[in-house]
Structures are given as C-alpha cells and as structure tokens.
Amino acid sequence: MLRYALRRALWMLPTLVGITLIAFGFLALTPMRPETSEAPAHHERLPVFLNPSPRDVRSLAEASVEQIAQGDQPAQASSRLVRLGGAALPFVLPHLDALGPEQRARVALSLEPVARRMGLLRAEGFRDGDEAVVFWQRFWEERAVDFKASVVRRAVRRLGSYGSEARRTELVELDTFALEEIVDGFGEVQTSDDVARVARMIEVAAHVTGRDDKLPPEASVSDASRCVTRWRHWWLDARSDYVVLAGPGRLAAMLLETRYGHWALSAGAMRLGVGPGGAPVFDTLAQRGRFTLVLTLAAQLLAYIAAIGIGLIGAWRKDSPADHVPATFVLASFALTPLLIGAALALVGGTRFAVAAALIAAAMGIIASPARQQRLRGIDALATECVRAARARGAGPWRVMLGQAARMSGITMASLAAIDFPVAFTGALVVERLMSLPGIAQDLTIAVIEGNAPLLMAFGVCSACLCALMLVAGDVACAWLDPRCRRLLLKEPT
C-alpha cells in the first residue's frame, strides 16, 4: 500500500500544476489593486502564461535611447532610462558617438539624475548638452572595466565583510548594475552580524532603486529576514529590467517573464509567495489555517459519529417514527446549509459559545449524506445470512448493529469521508467567517477584496493537496478494512 500511496501522490503533481494554471487564469481576470502590490508597474501588463518577446535591460535601454533621440515621448523614455540606471550604461554610453550631436546631447542630459544618484555630479549639474556628453564619454573611458560581474561580486563581498564609506561608494558608483550581485549576496539572516551585513547591502540597494524599504537601526533578526524576503520578492519581478537575457535564459524567460511565471518563481523560492508584510504566505496559512483544519476535522468526526448512530437506528427501525424523524432532521439540516444554521446558533449562543456553535453548524451541514449511506448499508447488512443467523442465536440489537452492520459499512464510511472533506472544509470556512473565529476565512475575504493573488493561489494549492491526500488516505483505509478492495487497488490476482 505504501507503493500505491506514493504513486498516487506523484500523480498529484501534474494535477496540481493544472489546478494552478486554471486558478491563476481566473485570478488574472481581476487586476491586483496597485496599493496592495509590491510588483513593478509593468507587472500587470505582462502576458499571463506566455511571453514571446521577453524584455531585458538591453532592449529597454535601446528603446529608451531611440525614443529620446527622436523626441518620441522623451519624458517617459528618460524616466525609464533613469530607472534602469547603471545597468543600462553598457548599452548606452558606447553607442553615443553613433548618434547625431543634438540627439547625443539629449541622451546624455537625460542621464543626469543617474550621475547624481551615483554621486559623480556636482550640485549645479550639467551646464549644457556638450558638457554632459564629455562627462559620460570620459566616465566610460575610465570606468568601463568596472562594469563586470567579477568586479561587482568582489565589491559586494568587501561591503558585506566590513562596511566603510569607501566600499559603499564603490557600489553606489556602479548603481543598478550591482543589483543582481547585491541580492545574491544577502544570504541567510541568522545572527546579529548577518543583520548588520544585510543592512549595509539593503541601504545601497534602496539608494540605487529609490525603494523605501530599509532596516531600522535596531532591527532584529526577524525584521531583517522579512526585509530580505521583500527585496527578493521584488527582485523576482524586476530582475529582467536589470539583466541581459541571452541563450537558454531568454528561452526560459518566455515562460518565466509572465505573471504566472513570476508567481511560480515566488512560490517555489519563498514558501508559496510573500505577503504584504514580507512574511511568507505559507507561514500565514500554517498559523491561521491550523484552526480551520482542526474545525473541519472535528466537525467531520462529529457528523460521522452522529450519522452512524442515526443510520443504524433507521436501519433497525425501518419505516417507523424512529426512522422518519431523524431522516427529516438530517434532510432539513442539509437544506438549511451551514450559513443559516450558523446564523441561528450564533443568535442563540452568542459569542461565548461561538466555537461550539461553529462546530455544530459545520457538522450539521454534512450529516445528511453519511446518515443516508449508513442507513442503506445497515439495511443491506441486516439482510445478510450472518446477521440473520446471529439474531436467530439470540444476539441483541446493539451487538448486531455495532458488531455486524457498523463493521460491514465501514468501507463505505471511509470512502465517503474522503469525498466529503472538501464540503466539510467549505462549511467550516463559512461558519468561521460568520462567527469571526480566528481562522483563515477572514484573511481569504480580505485577499479577495484586495486582489491578493499570492495568498489566494497558496490557499488553492494547499487546499488541493489536502483534498488529494484525503482521497489517498480514504483508499488506504478502504484497503485496510476490506482485502477485496486492496486487491482491486493493487491490481492483484484474485
């Protein structure tokens, strides 16, 4: 059975990928609210699943230079070029001579904010375009050799080992060209020394990008870890604006430089994504979802215990008031739904018994199906020869019902419990939100309102995994209860 369970678990993976594709496709129809998103502004304009022409710093820089030179939306192009900063200089400065005098001057002047950010320009700035052109030409003649990955890597290591103004200036003068190595150099944050190290790197990254996300002077290890997570999440979305895509990287970017690709990278690298506060979404689900899961399992256990009793009594006293009255009760509870039952119990019990009311409401919403199945299986069991023989030998009702009928219907209850888990989980979410209990339902409501795609996707993935695991557990339970079922599942010869 272990081999069977592992095989079923492996088959869950392609199904899970398909579920994420469908769920993300639906979520993509609702744009994320800008005030709740940490993604760059162009994230919403990315294709959902396939990007045939992924952009990188080279294409963005060349397009910006062309627009500035031709006077086509120069303000927007200049703003983009300033945002690209030092990462774009290797693709702009070597080609200045290929432009006409006026075009060259416009491009050089548009880079003035970059020079200020790098600390290379005096306060009054450039007097004219010719001075700007001469400045950037001399800069590239002297510093082109510094715009290499190996040089940046050494500078980042030196800043991380021991911070000084000279080492900070060395990275600041490389501007956004150093971002990739800075983010890669964050590493793990486990001690106070790590906090000081990443604080120096984050300060440089915040300076060159303009992001207001720095560590306070007395930051703790957890504060630093959350800040690093936020920066890594931002970098997953913004990386293509500061690096060159070539060869296999460009082919991979056709899938990864999409909205789904950004989510998948974030989910895989950062524990199902990052919430607004910088904490991994998985931590939120684990903390708040624990109550919801316990409520679901407790409600299902309560419902099935009651359903087995109601079904056995109905089978023993078939077509009598003892059969019809409980059947009417469970049918009414199914028709009223957990929402109405929970609202009624909340009015009666108030907040003091909110958890008990939620448990009863969630259980009543799923009691009808197992009660009916238990009654039918009980009637079939009572008609078997072994039960008739036991009754003929003087076996009492309790011995017959619990020793024979309940045992014979165990496989039905096990398989039904696995199938009913999604229904029980949904009912638990409804009553939990209705009674303001400390579960995941309130977070999901806020996520739907604010368009928090990472939390909604993570919830969908975890819910699908839970439901699949329950189905596997149901199969294993059926195989354990009935050898015939085990032979069928394992395809063993009879």
What is the reported pLDDT for 346? 72
Q: What is the pLDDT of residues 212-266, one digit of tens each?
A: 888 888 889 988 988 998 898 889 888 889 999 888 888 898 988 888 988 888 8
Residues 464 and 19: beta-carbon distance below 8 Å: yes
Share of the chain above pLDDT 90, in %: 21
Name beta bridge partners: 280: 274
Q: What is the mean pLDDT of the chain?
A: 83
Residue 202 has pLDDT above 90, yes or no: yes
pLDDT of residue 405: 61
Question: For residue 164, which of 112, 200, 139 has the smallest C-alpha distance?
Answer: 200
Q: 243 and 56 in contact (C-beta within 8 Å)?
A: yes
Length of the chain: 494
The answer to whether residue 350 scores a pLDDT higher than 70 is no
State the distance between the two ends of the chain, measured CA to CA, in whole angstroms: 17
Helix %, strand %, coil % of the chain (to 5): 75, 0, 20
- CB of 366 closer than 8 Å to CB of 423: yes
Query: What pLDDT, on the 0 to 100 scale, is given for residue 391?
Result: 65
Across residues 342-348, what is the average pLDDT? 74
Q: Say which residues have a Cβ less than 8 Å from residue 377's Cβ, sequence separation at least 6.
A: 311, 315, 405, 408, 409, 412
pLDDT band, very low/low/confident/very high, at 477 (cuts 50, 70, 90): confident
pLDDT tens digit string along 304-337? 888 888 887 887 778 788 878 888 888 888 787 7
- 370 and 304 in contact (C-beta within 8 Å)? yes
* Domain segments of the chain as ranges: 57-145, 148-244, 282-490
pLDDT of residue 448: 85
Predicted local confidence at residue 183, as pLDDT: 92
| Contact status, residue 119 vs residue 169, Cβ threshold 8 Å | yes
Per-residue pLDDT of 370-387, as tens digits, reads 888 888 877 777 767 766
Tokens, residue 82: 């300033």
Q: What is the pLDDT of residues 62-90, one digit of tens each?
A: 999 999 888 877 788 899 999 999 999 99
Per-residue pLDDT, averaged over 356-362, amounts to: 86
Cβ neighbours of residue 260 closer than 8 Å, sequence gap 6 or more? 20, 21, 24, 28, 48, 49
How far from 404 is each of 374, 378, 398, 400, CA to CA, in Å? 13, 9, 9, 5
Identify which of 346, 354, 353, 400 has the alpha carbon closest to the alpha carbon of residue 378: 400
The alpha helices in 96-145, defined as continuous H runs, are 101-110, 112-117, 129-143
Closest by CA position to 110, among listed 60, 76, 149: 76
Specify the CATH class of 282-490 in words: mainly alpha
Q: What is the pLDDT of residue 338?
A: 75
Residue-level pLDDT at 35: 41
Distance CA 182, CA 98 (A): 33
320 half-sphere exposure, CB direction, 13 A CA radius? 8
Positive/negative CA dihedral, 425, 426, 427, 431: positive
Asked if residue 307 lies in contact with residue 257, where contact means CB atoms within 8 angstroms, the answer is no
pLDDT exceeds 60 at position 443: yes
Torsion angle of the four alpha carbons 459, 461, 464, 469, in this order, in degrees rounded to the nearest 10:
-110
Dump pLDDT digits (tens) for 96-111: 888 888 888 999 999 9
pLDDT of residue 124: 75
Question: CA–CA separation, 185 vs 171, rounded Å?
Answer: 13
Q: Coil, strand or helix: which one is 280?
A: strand
Name the token pair of 160: 């991380």
CA 308 to CA 303: how far, in whole Å? Answer: 9
Report whether 300 contacts 417 (CB < 8 A): yes
